[in-house]
A = this chain, B = another copy of it.
Amino acid sequence: MPSASASRKGQEKPREIMDAAEDYAKERYGVSSMIQSQEKPDRVLVRIRDLTEQKADEVVWVRARVHTSRAKGKQCFLVLRQQQFNVQALVAVGDHASKQMVKFAANINKESIVDIEGVVRKVNQKIGSCTQQDVELHVQKEGRATVNQDTRLDNRVIDLRTSTSQAVFRLQSGICHLFRETLINKGFVEIQTPKIISAASEGGANVFTVSYFKNNAYLAQSPQLYKQMCICADFEKVFCIGPVFRAEDSNTHRHLTEFVGLDIEMAFNYHYHEVVQEIADTLVQIFKGLQERFQIEIQTVNKQFPCEPFKFLEPTLRLEYCEALAMLRGAGIEMGDEEDLRFVYDTDFYILDKYPLAVRPFYTMPDPRNPKQSNSYDMFMRGEEILSGAQRIHDPQLLTERALHHGIDLEKIKAYIDSFRFGAPPHAGGGIGLERVTMLFLGLHNVRQTSMFPRDPKRLTP
């Protein structure tokens, strides 16, 4: 049974692998097989209008549409609907549900049909928003019978006409605008980097091949090497917005094969934290700008997808990776759930700094204090990664060593390494996934909702 929390392939961080290994509830949820009238289980499906105090503490099965869903920390609240009746259902991490099962519930699309097993519980305070006000369903098992996301995407032009879609993409246009406005005010220059490249310079595994006249070429996995070459060419502070291509066979809520990268690269004086601060400030300016200029759009989306307003601190919280790991472990929480840090610090935006060198790309600058660490960082929104960045190696000798260590063919990155031979300033940068920022700012649960015409291993149309 494919689950929505399938682990990501490729250069993945170890925490996600741990994550997948520990799902003690994995038999309790998933995509149901299509009912082809093969079996006749003696399971009674209860009607929502019959879920009253009289049924309190009974275990029941319900088949219903998902009317709304709202995840918050370790809980997910669903409103289940049958015609004009609806009831609140709760999936919470505990004996019956794992973290992954809560995530799965949160990712079920509205209007999907689900089969749910749960205990009917009396509530202390009436649930004003539901017709069944006196009880809620505590979910023990859930099966998603059908999803309509594909239907929506197949008919994307009509789906984009809904007020929610209109608001989502107007806000996304605003993110791009605020990103550029902020950076141009900071003296950055916008650059355009080629997408067709001659060699799979960032590792061959996840790259698309293009027929280029009589030869092969590749689609750029990021503008990384080119934005660094612009720093070597003395542009000092550059940014670009453009498509990024990843031939990863990942079918998760947050992976696309083509997405829009908001990229920054910048020379600094003495410490890469100068750059980290500029990037964090840029994101804060985006959050502020959205909350100031796009309230109507935020409220429109919230009507269909209720969500807490996005919270952030100034200055932005920055923790070292090891420090955060130790803190979470001290609290009995396994690393891999960066989301928990949100609640500890009451912020939806934070930075983890100093990742292990081994899990970062070859061009990442090692940490001079600790050779196992690196001057690299990720930024998180609502507990999910939206940016990966680092100080880059600007010394051609060290860069060559690190490339060899990673088994990279030097011939293929000759132009890149040569760029550093004629003098390069220290520099750092990062790449932001536009669709993820939109998704997480609005508290949505699938990156396909924030890509107009999403591309994944199974979808190339419309």
Interface membership of chain A positions 182-197, coded 1 if the CB is closer than 8 angstroms to chain B and 0 otherwise: 0010000111111111
CB distance from A433 to the nearest CB of B (A): 12
Tell me if A18 is interfacial: C-beta within 8 Å of chain B: no
| Contact status of A196 and B234, CB under 8 A, knowing A184-B177, A190-B173, A247-B213 | no
Tell me if A447 is interfacial: C-beta within 8 Å of chain B: no
**Which one of A75-83, A109-117, A379-387, A454-462 is at the B interface?**
A454-462
Residues of B within 8 A of A313 (CB): none
Residues of B within 8 A of A211 (CB): 208-210
**Cβ–Cβ contact B194 & A455, under 8 A:** yes
**Cβ–Cβ contact B460 & A198, under 8 A:** yes
CB-CB nearest in chain B for A450: B192
Tell me if A305 is interfacial: C-beta within 8 Å of chain B: no
Residues of B within 8 A of A260 (CB): 192
Interface residues of A in 105-162 (CB under 8 A from B): 156-158, 160-161
**Cβ–Cβ contact B157 & A232, under 8 A:** yes
**Which one of A26-34, A43-51, A88-96, A414-422 is at the B interface?**
A414-422
**Cβ–Cβ contact A460 & B197, under 8 A:** yes
| Contact status of A173 and B196, CB under 8 A, knowing A210-B210, A217-B460 | no
CB distance from A407 to the nearest CB of B (A): 22
Tell me if A310 is interfacial: C-beta within 8 Å of chain B: no
Interface membership of chain A positions 204-232, coded 1 if the CB is closer than 8 angstroms to chain B and 0 otherwise: 00001111110101010000001001101
| Contact status of A462 and B258, CB under 8 A, knowing A161-B234, A169-B235 | no
Partner of A189, one of B169, B226, B247: B169
CB-CB nearest in chain B for A257: B196
Residues of B within 8 A of A241 (CB): 241
**Cβ–Cβ contact A462 & B229, under 8 A:** yes
CB distance from A435 to the nearest CB of B (A): 9
CA distance A288 to B169 in the complex (A): 30
Tell me if A281 is interfacial: C-beta within 8 Å of chain B: no
CB distance from A124 to the nearest CB of B (A): 45
Residues of B within 8 A of A172 (CB): 192
CA distance A169 to B249 in the complex (A): 37
**Cβ–Cβ contact A196 & B460, under 8 A:** yes
**Cβ–Cβ contact A219 & B213, under 8 A:** no
**Cβ–Cβ contact A452 & B247, under 8 A:** no
CA distance A285 to B211 in the complex (A): 39
CB distance from A18 to the nearest CB of B (A): 28
CB-CB nearest in chain B for A451: B192
**Cβ–Cβ contact B169 & A191, under 8 A:** yes
Partner of A191, one of B189, B197, B452: B452
Tell me if A362 is interfacial: C-beta within 8 Å of chain B: no
Partner of A249, one of B195, B213, B229, B434: B213
Tell me if A242 is interfacial: C-beta within 8 Å of chain B: yes
Residues of B within 8 A of A160 (CB): 230, 233-235
Partner of A195, one of B169, B258, B419: B258
Residues of B within 8 A of A258 (CB): 194-196
**Cβ–Cβ contact B157 & A452, under 8 A:** no
CA distance A451 to B156 in the complex (A): 34
Show 29 residue pairs from A and B whose CB-CB distance is below 8 angstroms, ordered by the A residue: A157-B233, A157-B418, A157-B419, A158-B422, A160-B235, A166-B234, A169-B189, A173-B184, A177-B180, A177-B190, A192-B452, A193-B452, A193-B453, A194-B453, A194-B455, A196-B208, A196-B245, A196-B257, A196-B460, A208-B212, A210-B211, A212-B257, A212-B460, A213-B247, A213-B457, A215-B460, A217-B460, A226-B453, A243-B243
Apart from A194-B453, A210-B219, A243-B243, what are 10 other A-B pairs with CB-CB below 8 Å?
A157-B418, A173-B189, A177-B184, A192-B452, A193-B452, A194-B258, A195-B195, A195-B243, A196-B455, A212-B257
8 shortest A-B CB distances, which residue pairs?
A415-B462, A160-B233, A198-B460, A173-B190, A157-B419, A209-B211, A173-B189, A194-B453
